[in-house]
Structure 1
Amino acid sequence: MTWILAQQPEAGRASEQQEAAGFVPGQKRVQIDPAQVARGKTLFGINCQACHGQDLRGGDLGGPNLLRSQVTLSDKDGELIVPVIQGSRQAMGMPAIGLNMEDSKIVAAYIRSVIGTIGRQGAPPGKQKPPTIVVGNAGDGRAYFISNCGKCHSAEGDLQGVASRITDPKVLQTAWLQGGSLAEAHEGALVKATITLPTGEKVDGTLVRADDFLVTVKLRDSTIRTFRRDGNVQVTLLDPLKAHKDLLPLYTDKDVHDITAYLVTLK
């Protein structure tokens, strides 16, 4: 349980800490390595988020708002935050966290990266233009695409101009990972079902639900029908996104970045 830092510093020390850290409202902080920020965000999510919240403003377990903490606001290089993570405030309700010194500094760096976006002390983080996610190799992405996606998709066919239709690279990345733009609402992405009854009659529809005992489908006239799955009833399911779902656990981070970098070139 991670309770950090909202208590005010002891009397007489607040000005000393501010002077030592050089904090002024809206100050520009030293740029932090993005890799450190990313790892720090992960560590914070595992160890601190339950108490301090995803946005650092306090979580479900009652931890204080880190955006209003003089300690976090004044910290320059972990000198104030790290001791608290290591247990210096156990008597005040903040237990020591099971992080080594290096990971503690990385969490502190992540906290500073968020605080560095605020406009004045205690204010919510300001809006900033997010860094681009287009960091992959477009050539490698094209090669991967041809090898693994070329049977169903092509740059000259269904994906021609896709980067002009979906101009935000983040939205584009989400779309292709799902198997299409807004796949959940896309009629062509819905699972189709064919039920063959003992009489030989076939019922085609869109799958609503299926388990080991029943299968429910929606017919073209919007009628909902449910069939019992037994030895005399055959159920055939066709999932147009199966290939995408099968690939999801196989992608590396590089694959995802490279494919996105390639797709943004298809304008």
Structure 2
Amino acid sequence: MRSRFSLAAAAAALLISVGARLTAQGPPAQPPTPAPAGQAPATAQPPGGGRGRGQATFPAQQRAPGDPAVIQRGKTLYEINCRLCHGADLRGGDMGGVNLLRSPLVLNDEDGELILPVVQTGRQNPGMPVMPPFPLPPDDVKAIAEYIHSVVATARPQGAPPAGAEVALNIVVGDAKAGAAYFASKCASCHSATGDLQGIASRVSEPMQLQNLWVAGIGGGGGRGGRGTAAGAAPTEASSRRPVTVAVTTADGQRVQGRLDRIDDFIVTLTSADGLQRTFRRVGDVPKVEITDPLDGHKKLFVQYTDKDIHDVTAYLVTLK
């Protein structure tokens, strides 16, 4: 009897569970009602009132496309009045203007109503250069705003530049004569325009690459006589630059030299010319350790360079063809 009662109870529980699930599921979904002739079918809206992930959330990104003629006029006015500070791609220019692609003011502007007072009265943002007032007619400012919005509408996330042809930037803006003087005072002890750097601008024809290479000292250590790899040589030549070397003098006067492999407060490890790797324990100043780094001069100057120094030296180096 007890066994039959248990089986009956289990069967009843199973039926109740199935019934509850069917009730929770509700009636089957009805297919969408066909749209009347001449009308587009309705599309499903995402939860939250249609503001799905990836949709425009700023007024400037929800605007209808502007008048092409107004946008073109605004572009011309932008090039004349705004490009120097805000850049050709709106991400900031040589005079330190803000990135307009990420500006909250631009993103919340709809028809120039927020941009107009800033242009006409100027603005001071903390930590940024002062923007002077521009006495432009309202229609001109609105045309500029229309152009800015047309660019923002094509911008990719995180203020990336708009899709399209890459904007060519000219970094050769320094004084070559001042660069030659700086080179003579700071660099000529290791490098020579008629030695290791002769024709450097022909070997590295891209000014940006040339600037990066000489600032970092990649391939440095060539010396005045042109030995080794020229400072600023192509990146593929960087592996041939002279290594950092070390000389270790032990307490009994033994001197061992080689390529520096590792050094810290406790040990120094080197590889000698015969390929033997040796490690010495360090206790204070014993053993005596002398390090020779071909890039030591570059590393010391790196914290002293100003933007003007870098621009001037680059302007000088591009003349060494």
TM-score norm. by structure 2 comes to: 0.53
Q: What are the ranges of 5 or more consecutive residues in structure 1 without an aligned counterpart?
A: 49-55, 57-65, 84-98
- Pick the aligned partner of 2:114 from 79, 83, 100: 79
For the pair 1:244 / 2:298, whether they are aligned, the reply is: yes
- Distance in 2, matches of 1:121 and 1:100, equals 29
- Pick the aligned partner of 2:245 from 192, 211, 226: 192
Answer yes or no: is the 8 Å Cα contact 1:82–1:101 preserved in 2. Answer: no
The root-mean-square deviation of aligned C-alpha atoms, in Å, is 4.6
1:235 maps to what in 2? 289
Going from structure 1 to structure 2, the CA distance change for 1:211 and 1:127 (only over 3 Å counts) comes to farther
Answer yes or no: is the 8 Å Cα contact 2:84–2:93 preserved in 1. Answer: yes
1:208 Cα deviation from its structure 2 partner:
2.4
For the pair 1:143 / 2:181, whether they are aligned, the reply is: yes
Going from structure 1 to structure 2, the CA distance change for 1:250 and 1:8 (only over 3 Å counts) comes to closer
- Distance in 2, matches of 1:142 and 1:23, equals 48
1:156 maps to what in 2? 194
Equivalence map 1:26-175=2 (5 Å): 28=75, 30-31=78-79, 32-36=82-86, 37-38=92-93, 72=107, 79=114, 99=125, 116=151, 121=154, 124-175=162-213
Going from structure 1 to structure 2, the CA distance change for 1:21 and 1:103 (only over 3 Å counts) comes to farther
1:226 maps to what in 2? 279
Q: How many residues align?
A: 217
2:220 maps to what in 1? none
- Distance in 2, matches of 1:147 and 1:101, equals 34
Higher relative contact order (CA 8 A, sep 6+): 1
1:157 Cα deviation from its structure 2 partner:
0.8
1:177 maps to what in 2? 215
Going from structure 1 to structure 2, the CA distance change for 1:73 and 1:128 (only over 3 Å counts) comes to farther
1:265 maps to what in 2? 319
1:224 Cα deviation from its structure 2 partner:
3.9
Answer yes or no: is the 8 Å Cα contact 2:269–2:277 preserved in 1. Answer: yes
Answer yes or no: is the 8 Å Cα contact 2:175–2:311 preserved in 1. Answer: yes
The structure whose Rg is larger is 2
- Pick the aligned partner of 2:264 from 211, 216, 223: 211
2:57 maps to what in 1? 7
SS of the aligned residue for 2:241 comes to: helix
Answer yes or no: is the 8 Å Cα contact 1:21–1:74 preserved in 2. Answer: no
SS of the aligned residue for 1:206 comes to: strand
- Distance in 2, matches of 1:77 and 1:176, equals 45
Q: What are the ranges of 5 or more consecutive residues in structure 2 without an aligned counterpart?
A: 1-54, 87-91, 119-124, 133-143, 157-161, 218-230
TM-score norm. by structure 1 comes to: 0.62
1:153 Cα deviation from its structure 2 partner:
1.3
SS of the aligned residue for 1:245 comes to: helix
- Distance in 2, matches of 1:72 and 1:81, equals 14
